[in-house]
Amino acid sequence: AAEEGFDVEDIEGAIEAAGHGPLPVLAVVGRPNVGKSTLVNRIIGRREAVVEDKPGVTRDRVTYEAEWAGRRFKLVDTGGWEQDVLGIDASVAAQAEYAIDAADAVVFVVDAKVGATDTDEAVVRLLRKAGKPVVLCANKVDGLSGEADASYLWALGLGEPHPVSALHGRGTGDMLDAVLEALPEAPAQTFGTAIGGPRRIALIGRPNVGKSSLLNKVANEDRVVVNEVAGTTRDPVDELIELGGVTWKFVDTAGIRKRVHLQQGADYYASLRTAAAVEKAEVAVILIDASETISIQDQRIVTMAVEAGRAIVLAFNKWDTLDEERRYYLEREIETELAQVSWAPRVNVSARTGRHMEKLVPAIETAIEGWEARVPTGRLNAFLGELVAAHPHPVRGGKQPRILFGTQAGTKPPRFVLFSSGFIEHGYRRFVERRLREEFSFEGTPIHISVRVRE
């Protein structure tokens, strides 16, 4: 019903806009120097994706939100990858594998001026195996004369090559139209197939925090060798592990177990793997080495999981090594450095001794519960009414903006739309979020709040 000066279309539009679920993921893959980063920049319309691609430069931003023809999607940029000690083929294959695995569709970029190389052929094999929709981008076709080069790429067997100049923008619109056709509305693999299947956990954290030790510990203690769980297809990089009587799917474990020794690009590789795992998971268990100062890298990983909107558990590992002094400083660091996830359940574990392993599952369950929780509109508005009456927004310019009513537009993570009579300040939004969390126990989940102001 029309309420307090909003008309029905306004309200419905706002709810729909706020309620969008997780976005489908598009990966851009290809050899170094074919123009992936240039293309990503072209698509997101910003310059920032391309940093100086010098060897050793840390690239930890690998996913971007993009929009074309009114549709939004996530873009995974694999352009930060440099050739490393494994040789060009292996490195391209490894990065492409992660990106393809997490993607709903792939743009495969080939340098049309060079033509298809052996490395390109290797990526084609990976693409075939993965069976994801592929759009073939024949890049560096800067003018009409280059189109003949593009047509040679039919030979790759991936369908029509789309001649593009990422540098000048030529042909990118047509290619993006093809991308939208290939891309499902919602990320099928992440949420569509999950119903009834095992919950998906991404075990993430910077190198050496103890991910593989923890995985071995939980897998050995309560090993299930389940190859076929009803309704699931087992991905070789994922592992089914029974914990607390429930089977969980730990995603991307191959990357945790496999010790790939990398020099250049190792940080980037780790970021890509983390992003891919987070995309595939419902809950992120973020492992932090409690014996060391919480670092920027830890925070970046936390931010990645928060921005992806996943349920989050913080696990502080190597607890067996902590003395009293370190415990004291750790608490201070958590307060200041991890304030953005002060709502996340926390467990203090030791992958070495097995300390508190049994607390992991309840923490994960709590986080997932919060992530999926839905507050009935009636209860939400009773709560908002009381809140606004007891703690009104500060008066600004002689007026008092007021939250009039609200609704939960979506879950996984919870998304709210609040309708107000005027601009709601950041501090007040934070206050409302804090109280919402207290009232409805949104533990372990990011929550989104958007505010719609009456015209």
Which residues line the annotated binding site for GTP? Answer: 30-37, 77-81, 139-142, 205-212, 252-256, 317-320
With CB under 6 A, what is the number of residues at the site for ligand GDP? 32
Selected range binding ligand GDP among 134-142, 182-190, 305-313, 437-445, rule: CB under 6 A: 134-142
Task: Decide whether 22 or 79 has the Cβ nearer to ligand GDP.
Answer: 79
Q: How far is the CB of 222 from ligand GDP (least distance, A)?
A: 18
Cα 43 → chain centroid: 19
The set of residues, in sequence order, having a beta carbon less than 8 Å from that of 201 and lying 6+ positions away, is: 248, 249, 250, 251, 281, 282, 283, 284, 285, 364
Q: Decide: 274 and 65 in contact? Cβ < 8 Å.
A: no
List the Cα angle 274/364/199 in 5-degree steps.
70
How far is the C-alpha of 73 from the C-alpha of 62, rounded, in Å? 14
Burial of residue 53 (number of CB atoms within 10 Å: 0-12, 13-18, 19+): middle
Q: Is residue 326 a contact point for ligand GDP (CB under 6 A)?
A: no
- 295 interacts with ligand GDP by CB under 6 A: no
CB of residue 448 to ligand GDP, shortest distance in Å? 30
Provide the token pair at 202. 């991404």
b/e sequence 361-399, b meaning 16+ C-beta within 10 Å: bebbbbbbebbebebeeeebbebbeebbeeeebeeeeee
- Residue keyed to tokens 């890298």: 297
Question: CB of 408: closest distance to ligand GDP in angstroms?
Answer: 36
Q: List the beta strands (DSSP E) in 168-250.
A: 199-204, 239-243, 246-250
In terms of CB distance, is 273 or 415 closer to ligand GDP? 273
Residue 320 makes contact with ligand GDP by CB under 6 A: yes
Which strands make up the sheet holding 161-163, listed edge to edge?
63-68, 71-77, 25-29, 105-111, 134-139, 161-163
Is 209 near ligand GDP (CB under 6 A)?
Answer: yes
Q: Which of 58, 212, 421, 441 binds ligand GDP (CB under 6 A)?
A: 212
Binding status of residue 140 toward ligand GDP by CB under 6 A:
yes
Cα–Cα distance for residue pair 243/256, rounded to 1 Å: 19
Q: Is the peptide bond before 446 cis (omega within 30 degrees of 0)?
A: no
Question: For ligand GDP, what does the binding mask look like between residues 355 and 394, x meaning CB under 6 A?
Answer: ----------------------------------------
Local structure of residue 308 (DSSP, 8 states): T
DSSP strand pairing (415-420 vs 239-243): unpaired
Nearest approach, Cβ of residue 127 and ligand GDP (Å):
16
Residue 91 near ligand GDP by CB under 6 A: no
Using rule CB under 6 A, residue 337 touches ligand GDP: no
The residue range among 86-94, 200-208, 247-255, 275-283 that interacts with ligand GDP, by the rule CB under 6 A, is 200-208
What is the contact mask toward ligand GDP in residues 164 to 183, using x (rule: CB under 6 A)? Answer: -xxx----------------
Closer CB to ligand GDP, 149 or 279, in the complex: 149
Residue 36 interacting with ligand GDP (CB under 6 A): yes
Give 207 or 231: the residue with its C-beta nearer to ligand GDP: 207
Which residues here bind ligand GDP, judged by CB under 6 A? 30, 32-38, 53, 79, 139-140, 142, 165-167, 205, 207-213, 256, 317-318, 320-321, 350-352
